[in-house]
């Protein structure tokens, strides 16, 4: 027989075999099917036996088609055998076990930093603050100069700065990644009139070696209040209320003198440890009973003057905090690097 006819024959055989396989619904009929189609004396074998009588070209062609058909039929047979055993095990009932637990669908969540930022903003919005944002690439002018930190002032060492590769007309590096959110105090006072009550969440950057408590990129939340007759009592009351909202109504607060060039007097605020509570000291508060959570102070009259505000009429207070640090305290996280290393095992806990 010629090669072409055999190819037709083998294709027809494949089709018929698959139809017959569908109909074979018992062990016995499956076995009969196997013998008659792919067995040693079966239909496929008898076609392939004719290979040697063909021209070498036809032989190669038919050989390869024959192999494919053989594999297909063998595989289909194995599948049919398997599904027969399966349905036998379920006594002919459909093989769906409705008592099996469903597949778990993992749900996306807000990043812990986003969650804590929202909590902080909510606390201050409730006290009448307005939320604004500012640029992360900043001028020296706003980040330092206007905040009473002139060039060569030793206080610049408090902020290890990442400078942008750019020089102004005086060939000075004047552009940087903001090292804190305080430059927004200046931008806000420049552009608006008191009464001011604003909150500035945003990313900051420092040229810093990374460790468990330092990251070179982190968030800050800045607060600024300016009006006539604002006093240190307003600062204390506002921040006390904030601490109670975030850390519980029993919190006590402690203010101690601290130095920041743009506030006078400056203070650092701590809350009593919510972990050991009775002040005996634990790991969270490093044995002191107190946890420092932010820097604050009365806006330095020099800063007000530099922006054209008369300090004998207007006074104000400002504060700045690290939301990651607040989240670490609140949720007992001991390494700041976890926030931005994208480990789902960490992120899915919040
Ligand atoms: N900007 C200061 C810092 O980065 C924090 C601060 C803000 C202190 C406002 C006082 C007032 O450390």
Ligand 1 centre and the CA of 319: distance in Å?
6
How confident is residue 145, by pLDDT bands cut at 50, 70 and 90?
A: very high
CA–CA gap between residue 154 and residue 33 (Å, rounded): 92
Kindly report the protein residue whose alpha carbon is nearest to atom 2 of ligand 1: 320
Quote the pLDDT of residue 136.
Answer: 98
Ligand 1 centre and the CA of 172: distance in Å?
25
> What is the average pLDDT value for the chain, to the nearest integer?
90
Kindly report the protein residue whose alpha carbon is nearest to atom 5 of ligand 1: 320
- Residues 148-173: tens digit of each pLDDT: 999 989 888 888 999 999 999 999 99
Q: Is 217 helix (H, G, I), strand (E, B) or coil?
A: strand
For 201, which DSSP code?
E
CA–CA gap between residue 127 and residue 245 (Å, rounded): 11
Measured N-to-C along each axis, helices 3-23 and 56-89 cross at an angle, to the nearest 10 degrees, of 0
- Residues 282-309: tens digit of each pLDDT: 877 888 888 889 999 999 999 999 999 9
CA angle 19, 25, 30 (to 5 degrees): 75
By most ligand atoms within 8 Å of CB, the mutation choice from 144, 180, 300 for ligand 1 is 180
Residue 1 has pLDDT above 80, yes or no: no
For 271, which DSSP code?
E
- Residues 264-282: tens digit of each pLDDT: 999 999 988 877 866 677 8
Reference 201, options 99, 324, 302, 105; nearest CA is 324
Q: What is the pTM of this model?
A: 0.71
Q: Among residues 243, 263, 267, 327, which one is catalytic? A: 263
Quote the pLDDT of residue 27.
Answer: 85
Q: Among residues 33, 185, 186, 220, which one is catalytic? A: 220
Which ligand 1 atom minimizes the distance to the CA of 158?
12
Cα–Cα separations (whole angstroms), residue 89 to 86, 95, 101, 108, 161: 5, 9, 20, 39, 71
Contact 117, 184 (CB under 8 A): no
CA–CA gap between residue 202 and residue 200 (Å, rounded): 6
Query: Averaged over 102-108, what is the pLDDT?
Result: 87
Q: Is-cis flag, bond preceding 265, omega within 30?
A: yes
Give yes or no: 75 in active site.
no
Give yes or no: 296 in active site.
no
CA–CA gap between residue 236 and residue 254 (Å, rounded): 9
Quote the pLDDT of residue 261.
Answer: 96
By most ligand atoms within 8 Å of CB, the mutation choice from 177, 182, 264, 294 for ligand 1 is 182
Which ligand 1 atom minimizes the distance to the CA of 159?
4
Which ligand 1 atom minimizes the distance to the CA of 266?
10
Reference 133, options 206, 191, 187, 195; nearest CA is 187
Q: Is 101 helix (H, G, I), strand (E, B) or coil?
A: coil
CA–CA gap between residue 38 and residue 30 (Å, rounded): 11
Ligand 1 centre and the CA of 61: distance in Å?
81
Domain ranges of the chain: 3-90, 112-347
Query: Averaged over 114-124, what is the pLDDT?
Result: 97
Q: Among residues 206, 253, 270, 327, which one is catalytic? A: 206
The CATH label, of 3.30.300.30, 1.10.3720.10, 3.90.550.10, 3.30.930.10, for the domain at 112-347 is 3.30.930.10
Cα–Cα separations (whole angstroms), residue 124 to 26, 285, 310: 74, 25, 27
296 CB near ligand 1 (under 6 Å)? yes
Give yes or no: 214 in active site.
no
Number of residues that make up the chain: 350
- Strand-by-strand arrangement of the 217-228 sheet: 130-131, 196-205, 217-228, 314-321, 290-299, 263-272, 253-258
Instruction: Output the DSSP codes for 302-327.
Output: HHHHHTT--TTTEEEEEEEE-HHHHH
Give yes or no: 153 in active site.
no
For residue 176, give both structure tokens.
Answer: 């940087």
């Amino acid at each position: 027989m010629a090669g072409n006819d055999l190819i037709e024959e083998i294709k027809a055989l494949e089709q018929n075999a698959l139809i017959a396989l569908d109909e074979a619904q018992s062990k016995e009929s499956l076995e009969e099917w196997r013998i008659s189609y792919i067995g040693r004396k079966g239909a496929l074998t008898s076609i392939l036996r004719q290979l040697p009588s063909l021209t070498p070209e036809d032989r190669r062609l038919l050989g390869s088609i024959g192999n494919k058909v053989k594999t297909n039929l063998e595989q289909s047979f194995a599948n049919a055998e398997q599904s027969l055993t399966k349905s036998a095990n379920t006594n002919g009932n459909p093989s769906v076990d409705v008592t099996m637990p469903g597949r778990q669908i993992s749900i996306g969540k807000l990043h812990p930093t986003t969650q804590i930022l929202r909590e902080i903003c909510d606390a201050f919005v409730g006290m009448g603050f307005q939320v604004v944002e500012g640029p992360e690439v900043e001028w020296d002018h706003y980040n330092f100069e206007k905040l009473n930190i002139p060039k060569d002032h030793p206080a610049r060492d408090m902020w290890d700065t990442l400078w942008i590769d750019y020089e102004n007309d005086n060939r000075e590096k004047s552009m940087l990644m903001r090292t804190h959110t305080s430059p927004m105090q200046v931008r806000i006072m420049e552009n608006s009139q008191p009464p001011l009550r604003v909150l500035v969440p945003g990313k900051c950057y420092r040229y810093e070696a990374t460790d468990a408590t330092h990251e070179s990129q982190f968030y800050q939340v800045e607060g600024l209040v300016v009006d006539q007759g604002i006093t240190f009592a307003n600062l204390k009351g506002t921040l006390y209320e904030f601490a109670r909202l975030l850390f519980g109504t029993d919190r006590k607060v402690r203010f101690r003198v601290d130095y920041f060039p743009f506030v006078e007097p400056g203070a650092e605020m701590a809350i009593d440890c919510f972990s050991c509570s009775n002040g005996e000291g634990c790991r969270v508060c490093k044995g002191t009973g107190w946890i420092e959570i932010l820097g604050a102070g009365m806006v330095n009259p020099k800063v007000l003057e530099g922006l054209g505000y008369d300090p004998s009429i207007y006074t104000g207070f400002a504060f700045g905090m690290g939301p990651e640090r607040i989240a670490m305290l609140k949720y007992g996280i001991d390494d700041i690097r976890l926030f931005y290393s994208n480990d789902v095992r960490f992120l899915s806990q919040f």
